[in-house]
Amino acid sequence: MGGILLTTNQLLLEGFVHYLAIERRYSEETVKAYLQDLKKFEHFLGASGSVSLSAIRLMDVRLFLSYLDEEELSRNSISRILSSLRGFYGYLVREKVITENPVATISFKNRSTRLPKFLYDEELTKLFETAKGTEPLDYRNIALLELFYATGIRVSECRMICLRDIDFTLGVILIMGKGNKERYVPFGQFALEALEEYLEKGRTPLMNSQQKKHDYLFVNRLGDPITSGGIEYILKQIMKKSGMTGELHPHMLRHTFATDMLNGGADMRTVQEMLGHSSLSSTQIYTHVTKDALQRNYRAFHPRAKRKEERYNN
């Protein structure tokens, strides 16, 4: 009986993965995250004496959330797992496997607002200097850094860019975002020059040497389209070579883009559109940095913001 239930679970999960990848057009990383969360829930059910994913009760979900809390998972992680469960059981309702979504009424509030990590100017400069070189892959790496910082795109969006998506005359790229939503994102002169140099001295030699033909912008050393994991590895190696502590993830460049745009005076709606956020609330987390900038400017320029001794000395 247990084997039959496990097989049923596997079929349900495979169907859900296919739905996310094909119908919802979710990225490989997003699908993998959903599956990881559901496997964690399946493991919990098995340890509790119940195996079937399609026969859970509300109490099963509440016990699972308590278990995650006891495991000291962050509230963000628990909230994400709950979202994965809600999506999975919504899919089972749609497919008429079950009649009601057992997770629909459960909410996990008080989600923490962890501030995003971003890079300072001197750190960015160090990264760009470290990545410079005269080999084909060096030109690719510089182009990757410049494009991430210039546009704030996600790693999954970056790897899907094709040559036909780039308008070098207007300086814009057509990006395919989450949920198959398209948006145009502009890029500046630094990224333009880095891309043109990469196409001439990086991509073309790599493609010719490996006798490859395809339209994807970024390629690996074999001339094949680069993967998200490949991009993350490249950035980690640049960070390691720079001598700076910590890890460099594409999302840090995305956060840095958003932070610098808002600090530079861009309105939040513009930044929301460029980041591909469906809700303005997702963009508002970056305002913590702009508030710091406002405070610094206020202290620097408003006469009543300075201490008396500062006013007298100036």
Name the residues annotated as catalytic.
154, 178, 251, 254, 277, 286
Cα gap 254→285, rounded to integer Å: 13
Closest by CA position to 91, among listed 4, 30, 5, 13: 13
Cα gap 218→140, rounded to integer Å: 7
Would you tell me how many other CB atoms lie within 10 Å of the CB of residue 181? 11
Strand partners, 244: none
- Asked if residue 144 lies in contact with residue 158, where contact means CB atoms within 8 angstroms, the answer is yes
Is 268 strand, coil or helix?
Answer: helix
**For residue 65, what are the CA distances in angstroms to 34, 39, 114?**
16, 14, 20
For strand 172-176 and strand 182-186, is the pairing parallel, antiparallel, or unpaired? Answer: antiparallel
CA 26 to chain centre: 12
The H or E element spanning position 235 is helix 228-242
Cα gap 251→126, rounded to integer Å: 18
